[in-house]
Amino acid sequence: MAEAKARQRGGYAEDVSTEQPVEGGLRFEVDGEIATITLDRPEKRNAQTFATWSALARIGESLPEQVRVVVVRGEGPSFSAGIDLRMFTPEGVPGQGSFSSAATLDGATFEQRIKQAQQGFLWLRRPEIVSIAAVQGHAIGAGFQLALACDLRIVADDVKFCMKEPALGLVPDLTGTKPLVELVGLAKAIDICLTARIVHADEAMRIGLAEQVVAGGDLEQAVQDKIAQLLSTNRDAATATKRLLQGARLRTLEEQSAAEGVEQAARIKALFG
Ligand code: ACO
């Protein structure tokens, strides 16, 4: 049923259990309730382009309804070395331009392009799914922000997070600043971004950037174990609980308590009504 729907929407679910190459240097696979997005340009350390972000957005738009967990991982030694450095050259990325060509656009047009790119990241927070970044090696710039776009980060002990943008004269603009501040606090986020320093595994764990640190060879198994735990809970209750947790920071205690009541009333009706 969900597969048929996804197919109707022109989604990626046509061969739901087979891995598919997607443009933008990605592979995408759906296996039942689990979707896996793999950054797949290891020879270029999974550098990202606008095509990568468009492809991510399309995966989000056509995600089969049965999916509960989305894993974002990188092939090879690095999760992602960030934006493709060809963007900084006059030639740019073939078919996608360069920062020089972007500088000739009016501000509103480029802002619109950034907004489109951000769509590739924002859907990873949907209440209906839990997204897990499996991060090894470098997660630089756009790579760090992609990891930050996910709900959970399980990292290898060789992880190197780096918000390189300010060192290159840019700001992080791929939705990473809010989750970073929420995870580590304003002072630590300023420290990490404005120095563009590397955050290693032990610090990532200590400051809340990572949920779990494992030896490199154990990363895949650790992710599988987390998926099994996540899938052991009731799907609708998990969605409603994530919705509650996501709203908690913005609500007063009284408002949050009321929201809990609303969600619970709906659960009781669904379960026992
Ligand atoms: N864009 C394009 N190509 C890249 C990128 C990138 N961001 N990162 C690495 N590559 C390429 C290298 O040019 C090299 O290609 P080649 O074999 O054709 O010469 C290949 O990937 C391997 O890179 P190495 O540097 O040889 O790999 P190493 O493991 O020694 O270093 C590291 C990895 C540290 C990630 C290094 O490649 C690096 O510093 N990359 C650039 C990181 C960066 O500044 N990213 C932009 C951040 S800002 C943002 O994302 C908005």
pLDDT at 12: 34
Cα 226 to ligand 1 centroid, rounded to whole Å: 30
Is the beta carbon of 87 within 6 A of some atom in ligand 1?
Answer: no
pLDDT at 241: 98
Cα 138 to ligand 1 centroid, rounded to whole Å: 9
Q: Which residues contact 135 (CB under 8 A, 6 or more apart)?
A: 74, 79, 147, 153, 154, 155, 156, 159, 161, 210
Is the beta carbon of 141 within 6 A of some atom in ligand 1?
Answer: yes
99 falls within a domain: yes
Q: Which amino acid is at 1?
A: M
Q: Which residues contact 228 (CB under 8 A, 6 or more apart)?
A: none
Is the beta carbon of 51 within 6 A of some atom in ligand 1?
Answer: no
Cα 117 to ligand 1 centroid, rounded to whole Å: 21
Q: Are residue 139 and residue 11 in the same domain, yes or no? A: yes
* DSSP symbol at 76: S
pLDDT band at residue 97, thresholds of 50, 70 and 90?
confident
Q: Are residue 130 and residue 254 in the same domain, yes or no? A: no
91 falls within a domain: yes
Cα 203 to ligand 1 centroid, rounded to whole Å: 23
2 falls within a domain: no
Whether the CB-CB separation of 192 and 160 falls below 8 Å is answered with no
pLDDT tens-digit map of 201-257? 999 999 999 999 999 999 999 999 999 999 999 999 999 999 999 999 999 999 999
73 falls within a domain: yes
Q: Are residue 91 and residue 178 in the same domain, yes or no? A: yes
Q: Are residue 241 and residue 121 in the same domain, yes or no? A: no
Q: What are phi and psi of 228, to 5 degrees?
A: -60, -40
Cα 31 to ligand 1 centroid, rounded to whole Å: 31
Q: How much is the mean pLDDT over the chain?
A: 92
pLDDT tens-digit map of 164-176? 999 999 999 999 9
Q: pTM for this one?
A: 0.93
Does residue 5 surpass a pLDDT of 90? no
CA atoms lying within 13 Å on the CB side of residue 120: 24
Whole-Å CA distances, 273 to 59, 90, 186, 244, 269: 36, 64, 45, 22, 4
Q: Are residue 172 and residue 112 in the same domain, yes or no? A: yes
pLDDT at 18: 55
Q: Are residue 245 and residue 172 in the same domain, yes or no? A: no
Which range, of 1-5, 178-182, 195-199, averages the lowest pLDDT? 1-5
Structure tokens at 234: 């009731």
Domain enclosing residue 251, as ranges: 234-273
Does residue 136 surpass a pLDDT of 80? yes
Is the beta carbon of 47 within 6 A of some atom in ligand 1?
Answer: yes
139 falls within a domain: yes
Q: Are residue 155 and residue 238 in the same domain, yes or no? A: no
User: Which residue's C-alpha comes closest to atom 3 of ligand 1?
Assistant: 44
Q: How many residues does the chain have?
A: 273
76 falls within a domain: yes
Cα 87 to ligand 1 centroid, rounded to whole Å: 13
Q: Which CATH number goes with the domain that contains 111?
A: 3.90.226.10
Q: Are residue 18 and residue 42 in the same domain, yes or no? A: yes
Which range, of 9-13, 34-38, 194-198, averages the lowest pLDDT? 9-13
User: Which residue's C-alpha comes closest to atom 18 of ligand 1?
Assistant: 44
Of 110 and 268, the one with more pLDDT: 268
The torsion region of residue 24 among left (phi > 0), alpha (psi -120 to 50) and beta comes to: left
User: Which residue's C-alpha comes closest to atom 39 of ligand 1?
Assistant: 81
Cα 95 to ligand 1 centroid, rounded to whole Å: 20
Q: Are residue 163 and residue 257 in the same domain, yes or no? A: no
Q: What are phi and psi of 141, to 5 degrees?
A: 55, -115
201 falls within a domain: yes
Does residue 14 surpass a pLDDT of 60? no
Q: Are residue 169 and residue 240 in the same domain, yes or no? A: no
User: Considering only CA atoms, which of 202, 128, 209, 138 is closest in space to residue 176?
Assistant: 209
pLDDT tens-digit map of 218-227? 999 999 999 9
Give 38's strand partners.
27, 73
Q: Are residue 186 and residue 89 in the same domain, yes or no? A: yes
Is the beta carbon of 84 within 6 A of some atom in ligand 1?
Answer: yes
1 falls within a domain: no
Pocket test of ligand 1: the residue of 44, 45, 114, 170 to mutate, having most ligand atoms within 8 Å of its CB, is 45
pLDDT at 143: 98
String of DSSP letters for 158-193 = T-EEE--GGGGT----SS-HHHHHHHH-HHHHHHHH
Number of domains the chain is built from: 2
Q: Are residue 42 and residue 171 in the same domain, yes or no? A: yes
Q: Considering the chain, what percentage of its residues have pLDDT values greater than 70?
A: 92
